[in-house]
Amino acid sequence: MSFIIAFIWSFVLWLVLTAGTRGMLWSAEELIAGIIFASIVAFSTRNIIGEKTTRFLNPLRWFGFVVYAMGPLFWGMVKANLDVAYRVITGKIKPGIVKVPVDLENDAQYTILSNSITLTPGTLTIDACPEEKALYVHWIHVTEEEPKTSEIVAGSFEKWARRLGK
């Protein structure tokens, strides 16, 4: 099963990278080469990518990712970048590493949340501890030394991560 998933994703990536070789579509040579290389990649990674990979084929989940990236994540990046720009110019910083308690279940949710936190400047995930249900976040301007929820660091990201990583 994981062979098929890896094959589909590598082939889709190949199609995206080679679009426009005949008119707006693909020439036959590119398609054949794509099948060969996607098979090689899928065969060599079939034991690495894990068991629960069928969830990555759900189109609703991909729609959710696109909405998340364009809506809350992008808006968070805009706000946070303006904030860091202000701190670069004025030099007003109050750095510190805080422990942020989170309520997530699996690794995919931790990955999504900590990557989102790192992408928004001003916060930088240093370590994730699923056994303590906590993230350690370097914060450039600490306003609360022991936050009770991830709301103050990550806004609505935790809710999104829980839904997308299910």
Partner 1 sequence: MIEIIIYAFLAVSVTFNILGSLSLHRFSDVYTRLHGATKCTTFGTIFVVFAVVLHSIWQLRETNNPKYLQMALHSIVALIALMLTNPTGAHAIAKAAHLSGYKPAKAVIDAYERKIRGEAQ
**Sites of contact with partner 1 (CB under 8 A):** 13, 16-17, 19-21, 23-24, 69, 77, 80-81, 84-85, 88-89, 91, 93-99, 114-116, 118-122, 124-127, 129, 136, 138, 140, 142, 145-146
Tokens of 9: 């994703």
Query: What is the crossing angle of helices 59-68 and 157-164, to 10°?
Result: 160
Q: Which residue, 1 or 22, is less far from partner 1 as judged by CB?
A: 22
Least distance to partner 1, CB of residue 104, Å: 16
Rounded Cα gap, residues 55 and 89, in angstroms: 44
Q: Which residue, 46 or 79, is less far from partner 1 as judged by CB?
A: 79
* β-pair type (134-139, 123-129): antiparallel
Q: Which residue, 81 or 149, is less far from partner 1 as judged by CB?
A: 81
Q: What are phi and psi of 55, to 5 degrees?
A: -65, -20
Least distance to partner 1, CB of residue 56, Å: 14
Tokens of 146: 């022991």
Least distance to partner 1, CB of residue 106, Å: 18
Rounded Cα gap, residues 44 and 50, in angstroms: 13
Q: Which residue, 1 or 152, is less far from partner 1 as judged by CB?
A: 152
Least distance to partner 1, CB of residue 51, Å: 22
Closest CA to 102 of 138, 149, 141: 149
